[in-house]
Structure 1
Amino acid sequence: MTRLNTVGIIGTGNVGIAAAYSLFQRQVTSRLILLDRDRRRAEGEAMDLMHGQSLVGRVSVLAGDYPDLSECGVIVITAGVSQKPGESRLELLNRNTAVFREIAAQLDHHAPEAILVIATNPVDILTHVMQHLSRRPPERIIGTGTMLDTSRFRAALGDHYGVDPRSVHAYIMGEHGDSEVPIWSTAKVGGLSIHQQTINGRDFDAQAMQRLFLGVKNAAYDIIARKGYTNTAIGLVISHLVRVILEDQKSVLPVSVNPDGTYGLQGVCLSIPCIIGRDGIEAQVAPLLNPEELKGMQDSADVLRRSLQGVQLA
C-alpha cells in the first residue's frame, strides 16, 4: 500500500496542538487529521488552523476518527491521562497503558502501515508499551526520546560559546528524564571537540558545563513552574521528526528505541542516535562512550526497568 502524505495526531491537548500548529505552519504535510475523545474540541482546533491557510498555504486540517487514519504515513500519539490526586506513578502508568492498548488495537486495524511517533510522557516507558501492544515492527514505533533535551543542550552550548546552535553537535542520551546522560566526549562546535579546547575565546570549564547540563535537565521543571506545562518546543520536535520520516531524510536523531544489545542494554526503550527515514528507524548510530557515560546509560536503563515493574502489558 502506498502511504500518502497525510499525518494524524491522536490527542488535541497542549502538546498535540503545538505539534499540529508546527506541522501546519511549516507545511510538513498537505493533510492533517486530528483525533480526540472530545470530538468537538478536535473540530474546533481544525477549524482554527484552517482559517490561517491564506497566510501559510493550502493545508487541509480536519477532525476525524480511527478509520480516517487509514491513509496516514505517520501518526503522532500525544494522548494520555493525567495523574489523579493520591494516585501512584504505577497506577497512572497502568491507566495510560490501557489507553495505549485501545489505540494500538485501533491503529493496527485501520492504519497498519503507518509509522507511530510516541510523544506522551513518560515517553520511554510508553514507547516500550506500544512496541509490545502493536503488531507493527518495533522500528516503526519511534519515541521522541531526548530530541527535546538534545535541542535544549545544543541551544545552551550555542549560547555559552556564542555560536549558532545549529553549529553545535552534541547529544543527550538515555532516559528522557532525570537519569538522562550528556555525551561530553563527542560534543563539538563546528567540528572541533569542546573538551579541553578553547572555542571562540571560551576555555572548557568542567564546572560551567555541569551547571549548563543541570539547567538542561531541569528545564521542564522550570517551565512548568512558570506556565504549567511544556508544549511549544516539543511541538517543533514532533514536526521535525515527522518531516524527516516523510521526506526520507536519513537524519541521525536521538530517539527512544530498544537498544537490542547496544552498550549491553536490552529490555527497555531509551534514546540512542538513530538513522531515521521513510521506513522508521533504519539503524542505530551508537557513539563511542567513555566509561562514565557508559555507566550513565546503564544506570538510566536500570531506572526505566524499575519503572516498568508492575506495568500490566498482558
Structure 2
Amino acid sequence: MPQSNPAVAAHSKSIKIVVVGAGSVGVTTAYALLLSGLAAEIVLIDIDKNRALGEVIDMSHAAHFAQARVRVGEYEDCAGATAVVVTAGVNQKPGQTRLDLIKTNYKVFKSIIPQIAANAPDTILLIATNPVDVLTHAAHRLSGFPVERVIGSGTAMDTTRFRHELGKHFGVNPRNVHAVIIGEHGDSQLPVWSLASIAGMRLKDYASQKGIEYSQDAMDECAKRTRDAAYEIIKKKGKTNYGVASVLVNILKPIITNGDALVTVSRVGTYGGVEDVALSMPCKLNRNGAHQDVPLLLNETEREALRRSAESIREVLDQLEQD
C-alpha cells in the first residue's frame, strides 16, 4: 500500500521525479516510486513513446490509490525535477560483464545527459545504467554538474544483497546487519569485513556469543553470492529489476526528504590514491546530493583492494577517452 508517513507526504506535494528509460528497471522504479508516496508527479521518458504511454496508462490505474500523477514526457519536462533517474541503455545479457556494455551505453548518454542538464540545471542525476561507475563519471562530465549532484546507484544494491546473505547465515533480520560493499559495482567490489557488525559486535564476536562457529570461508561464500547475484538472476530470468528499483527509491527518499541518510552510492572522487574515478563509498544523502563526510577506517588489505578496484575503472575510462 502507498506511503502514509505525514512527514513524507508533506515533502511529496511539490516533488517531480523524472525516469528516463521505460525498460524493466525504469518502469519498476516508476511503479515503486508511485506506491511510495514520495512524489506528486512522475514523468517517464523513452525513445519508444508508444511503449512509455502503455506503461503510464497501466500505472495510472495504480495512481488512483497512490494519489500521484504519472505521465509520458519529453526532455523539456525535466525542468523543475528534484531528481532525474537514468535507466536508459542496453541491458546486460547472460555471460556479459557490466564493463562490456560501456561503449554502447556511453553513446546513449552522450545523447541524453546534455538534454537533461540543459532543461534541469539544478536537478540531481541518479544513474542506474550499467556499468554504473563508468557512466556516473560520464554523466558528471557530460552534464557539467558538481560531483555531489551526480550519483550512481553503485553498490547500494550489493550492500543490500550482502546484508541479506549475512542475515541468512547468522539468522537475523538483514536490517540488523551493519556491513557494506564498496568499490566498483561489479567484479572488483569488496566487502568491508573489518567494520561489519551485528548488535554492535564484530561478526566473529557475535558468532561466539551466539555459540556458533565463525568461518571466514563461509563469509567469503556470502560475499561471492553477493557479487554473482546479478549474473545468477540474469541467467534465470534475463534481467534484474525489483531489487534495484527498491534501492533507487531508497536513494531518492533522503534526497526528497532531506534525510541525511548514509547509503553506499557511487560518486566521482579520489579512491585509493586513484584520481577522477567514480566508485561507491558510504555517502550522506540529502536535498543537495551525495556527500562523503567521513572516510571509512579501512585496514591495509581493504585499502589495497579499493585501490585495485579504482584502477580497474580508471583503465576503462582511459580506454574510453582514447576511442
* TM-score bin (small chain): over 0.9
Are the aligned partners of 1:4 and 1:71 in contact in 2 as well (CA < 8 Å)? no
2:137 alignment partner in structure 1: 128
**CA offsets per residue over residues 243-270 of structure 1, 9 Å max, x none?**
110001101111111233x542322110
1:8 alignment partner in structure 2: 18
1:300 alignment partner in structure 2: 309
Are the aligned partners of 2:267 and 2:278 in contact in 1 as well (CA < 8 Å)? yes
**CA offsets per residue over residues 79-138 of structure 1, 9 Å max, x none?**
013589xx9988852332221122121112111111000000000000011111112212
Matched, 1:149 2:158: yes
**CA offsets per residue over residues 132-168 of structure 1, 9 Å max, x none?**
1112212100000000000000011111111111111
**Partner residue of 2:106 out of 97, 109, 113:** 97
1:231 alignment partner in structure 2: 241
CA 1:8–1:199 in 2, change beyond 3 Å: closer, same or farther?
farther
Are the aligned partners of 1:35 and 1:65 in contact in 2 as well (CA < 8 Å)? yes
Matched residues in 1 for 2:163 and 2:303: separation? 21
Are the aligned partners of 2:128 and 2:152 in contact in 1 as well (CA < 8 Å)? yes
**CA offsets per residue over residues 207-262 of structure 1, 9 Å max, x none?**
110111111111111111110111110000001111110001101111111233x5
**CA offsets per residue over residues 19-38 of structure 1, 9 Å max, x none?**
11110111121110000000
CA 1:313–1:16 in 2, change beyond 3 Å: closer, same or farther?
farther
CA 1:186–1:103 in 2, change beyond 3 Å: closer, same or farther?
same
Moved more, 101-110 or 206-215: 101-110
Are the aligned partners of 1:132 and 1:313 in contact in 2 as well (CA < 8 Å)? no
Shift of 1:205: 1.2
1:41 alignment partner in structure 2: 51
**Partner residue of 1:274 out of 249, 258, 283:** 283
Q: Which runs of 5+ in 1 are unaligned?
A: none
**Partner residue of 1:171 out of 164, 180, 184:** 180
**Partner residue of 1:67 out of 64, 73, 76:** 76
Count of residue pairs brought into register by the alignment: 308
Are the aligned partners of 2:262 and 2:284 in contact in 1 as well (CA < 8 Å)? yes
**Partner residue of 2:250 out of 215, 240, 254:** 240
- Residue type matched to 1:242 in 2? L
- Residue type matched to 2:244 in 1? I
Moved more, 292-301 or 119-128: 292-301
Matched residues in 2 for 1:79 and 1:284: separation? 30
TM (normalized to structure 2)? 0.90
| RMSD of equivalent CA atoms | 2.2
**Partner residue of 2:228 out of 206, 215, 218:** 218
Give the secondary-structure state (helix, strand or coil) at the position aligned to 2:265: strand
Are the aligned partners of 1:252 and 1:285 in contact in 2 as well (CA < 8 Å)? no
- Residue type matched to 2:161 in 1? R
Are the aligned partners of 1:187 and 1:195 in contact in 2 as well (CA < 8 Å)? no
Are the aligned partners of 2:274 and 2:311 in contact in 1 as well (CA < 8 Å)? no
Are the aligned partners of 1:97 and 1:313 in contact in 2 as well (CA < 8 Å)? no
**Structure with greater helix share of residues:** 2
Matched residues in 1 for 2:316 and 2:37: separation? 38
Which of structure 1's runs of 4+ aligned residues deviate more than 4 A?
87-92
Moved more, 91-100 or 71-80: 91-100
Shift of 1:195: 3.4
TM (normalized to structure 1)? 0.92
Percent of aligned positions with the same letter in both sequences? Answer: 38
Q: Which runs of 5+ in 2 are unaligned?
A: 1-12
CA 1:165–1:92 in 2, change beyond 3 Å: closer, same or farther?
closer
